[in-house]
Amino acid sequence: MKTVVFYYVRHGKTEFNKQGIMQGQVDSPLVKEGLPVLERDAFVLKDVPFQRCFSSPLYRAVNTAEIILKDRNIPIEPLDDLIEMNFGDIDGKPHKDHKWTMLLMHAIDNFHFIHGESASDVRKRAGKAFKYMYDQCNDGDHVLVAGHGSFYMYMLEELMHQNRMQALMSLKPYGIPNGFISVITCTDGEYKIVSYPQTAEEFDQSKGIL
């Protein structure tokens, strides 16, 4: 029997987050005012004995992993399948100018109509990414995963075998804020959410367990 523990952290607040720009596979740097959130993440995760770290290849995620792993000799391994959803023609555009398009595409779970990805595309990537990470790790490994918000929702659907409504209801009490921490275990291919998205303070109080 083999168990791997994944600590999934959403990237910190970015320039595009601050400006209200839709940010899928476009990228922007972390902003200074969001760094304390990641520094608190680093503090509450300081005693987790990470053996591996995988990250979306987007710099906002890589930079998040760098902050959390500061002074640890752990390489950050970019993994293309962890990249955020592609929002197609509205990726990188102001949310206020395209909010109805965004709502419609999310409602039908398919951005193919505007040259992006579908929910199915992202779910397949999520399943592939976690299988790869699990296969690369040893029993008992603790793994930092630096990723994205929309990706997390579709990942939840895929790994937990949930439909959209179930995933939304699961996330409703928690939201998906920048810098959240969520703990997921995998034992012989079976996944379990140990904790849904938590702030560093919530994580510290619960010790990562709901």
Return the active site residues. 11, 84
Q: Read off φ and ψ for residue 94, nearest 5 degrees.
A: -60, 130
Taking a C-beta distance cutoff of 8 angstroms, is the pair 5, 142 a contact?
Answer: yes
Tokens 């009490």 belong to 173
Separation of alpha carbons 185 and 29, rounded Å: 30
**What's the residue count for the chain?**
210
How far is residue 31's CA from residue 103's CA, in Å, rounded to a whole number? 26
Q: Going by DSSP bridges, is the β-strand pair 142-147/76-78 parallel, antiparallel, or unpaired?
A: unpaired
Strand pairing category for 50-55 and 3-10: unpaired
